[in-house]
Amino acid sequence: MTPDVSPYDALLLVSFGGPEAPDDVLPFLENVTRGRDIPRERLEEVGEHYFRFGGRSPINEQNRALLAAIREDLAGAGIALPVYWGNRNWDPYLTDSLRRMAEDGVTRAACFVTSAYSSYSGCRQYREDLAAAVAEVDGAPRLDRLRHYFNHPGFVEPVVDATLAALADLPEDVRDAARLVFVTHSIPDRMNETSGPDGGAYVRQHRAAMAEVTERVRLETGHRPGHDLVYCSRSGPPSVPWLEPDVNDHLRQLAQEGAPGVVIVPIGFVSDHMEVVYDLDTEALATAAELGLPAVRAATPGVDPRFVAMVRDLLLERAAAERGEQPDRVTVGRLPAAHDRCPLGCCPNLRGERPAVGGVPA
């Protein structure tokens, strides 16, 4: 029996975007920071991260691979649903993708966002940019954001296996006592405090995912590794408090305390984009090497078949809910499934209210 995806007639993969050539780098960073008065010198400094990799972010190529994998997975399940892709900050832009969808006759699309957690930058900002794109396109389809998936087994299980594989790559004499260093993107303290409908969701969700991964590692290895949640990619002014500790500072602290080795687990990221290949693979691993601290970085989910199948599961779950059914909402860990529609006041824009798709009507 063919799975029922009605009322949806398309799926939209929504991501951040990234430069694909050296001439793209500064225009891309200007898109990302528009309205935030970031000095050009700071943009040029960040741009050097990209130039180290030929002026190209890996994120678009990874999204192309994910797009192809999702299409293949849906087809394999007998679901004949077109899958589109749009970015917030680089080509293909959301507006262009919605225009193409409208021209193709799409009327209602489910949106899978490549951000697993609740926060303004990880959820509402995407919803705002989707709303802005809808406003620019005549006949744009109705858009529904699929729920956050930080506690879906399709996300968690690949992270568990990647962590176990990374542990196995450490020298045998430090493996059993190695510490798991879970890393995510830092955000301003205030953004975390207002994340989710009740505040604090960003850190709470990460800690729940971290706890589940750690417990599953314990079940596989027979002992519970020490573990910490730390942050990378801070970009705000020093006067604004952001979530800490920074991964590099934490590695120094662990070395001082005599930790024999670490596995760096990029729990906040779904693929190996710039924060992973620069902030972790380049900076954090260099810090560990300087300290003489054995360190291995675990893989991100990427196009793991379980992660790809999760997209289909979330699509079918939401489609059933929109038809008035009561679907099973698969989760692991201590937190329930996230909401389908964001409640009023959830992850507010602290710089001022903007229209956003996918929320509970006022």
357 HSE (CA, 13 A, CB side): 21
Percent pLDDT > 90 in the chain is 92
pLDDT digits (tens, 9 = 90+) for 262-295: 999 999 999 999 999 999 999 999 999 999 999 9
- In this structure, which amino acid lies at residue 21? A
pLDDT digits (tens, 9 = 90+) for 18-53: 999 999 999 998 998 887 767 788 888 888 989 999
Distance CA 252, CA 359 (A): 42
Could you tell me the strand order of the sheet in which 179-185 lies? 227-232, 179-185, 262-265, 295-297
Distance CA 266, CA 162 (A): 10
DSSP tally for the chain: helices H, then strands E: 13, 8
225 close to 149: Cβ distance less than 8 angstroms: no
> For residue 357, is pLDDT > 80?
yes
The DSSP H or E segment spanning 185 is strand 179-185
Instruction: Return the structure tokens found at 215.
Output: 């417990």
CATH number of this structure's domain 153-297 = 3.40.50.1400
Q: Spell out the CATH class of 10-149+303-322.
A: alpha beta
pLDDT score, position 189: 98
The DSSP H or E segment spanning 175 is helix 172-175
List the one residue out of 62, 60, 77 whose CA is nearest residue 20: 60
Kindly indicate the confidence band of residue 361, based on its pLDDT and cuts at 50, 70 and 90. Answer: confident
Distance CA 195, CA 241 (A): 15
- Residue 187 CB contacts under 8 Å (≥ 6 apart), including other chains: 119, 120, 121, 202, 242, 243
Percent pLDDT > 70 in the chain is 99
pTM over 0.85: yes
Kindly indicate the confidence band of residue 362, based on its pLDDT and cuts at 50, 70 and 90. Answer: low
Please provide the distance, in angstroms rounded to a whole number, between the alpha carbons at the two ends of the chain: 38
Strands 108-113 and 142-145: parallel
- Residue 176 CB contacts under 8 Å (≥ 6 apart), including other chains: 221, 223
CB-neighbour burial class of residue 138 (10 A; exposed 0-12, middle 13-18, buried 19+): exposed
pLDDT score, position 267: 98
268 close to 252: Cβ distance less than 8 angstroms: no
Q: What is the mean pLDDT of residues 1-25?
A: 96
Q: What is the mean pLDDT of residues 326-335?
A: 98
270 close to 114: Cβ distance less than 8 angstroms: yes
Q: What is the mean pLDDT of residues 86-108?
A: 97
List the one residue out of 145, 118, 66 whose CA is nearest residue 347: 118
Boundaries of CATH 3.40.50.1400 in the chain?
10-149+303-322, 153-297
Distance CA 192, CA 300 (A): 23
> For residue 67, is pLDDT > 90?
yes
pLDDT score, position 214: 98
pLDDT digits (tens, 9 = 90+) for 131-140: 999 999 999 9
146 close to 111: Cβ distance less than 8 angstroms: yes
Lowest mean pLDDT, pick from 54-58, 77-81, 187-191: 54-58
pLDDT score, position 226: 98
List the one residue out of 154, 146, 186, 120 whose CA is nearest residue 13: 146
Distance CA 84, CA 8 (A): 13
Main-chain phi, psi angles of 242, to 5 degrees: -120, 165
pLDDT score, position 142: 98
> For residue 236, is pLDDT > 80?
no
Distance CA 337, CA 325 (A): 16
List the one residue out of 293, 282, 175 whose CA is nearest residue 232: 282
> For residue 16, is pLDDT > 70?
yes
**Given CA atoms 108, 114, 118, 119 in this order, what sign does their dihedral have?**
negative
> For residue 300, is pLDDT > 80?
yes
pLDDT digits (tens, 9 = 90+) for 175-207: 999 999 999 999 999 999 999 999 999 999 999
Considering only residues 314 and 236, tell me which one the structure prediction assigns the higher pLDDT. Answer: 314
Q: What is the mean pLDDT of the chain?
A: 96
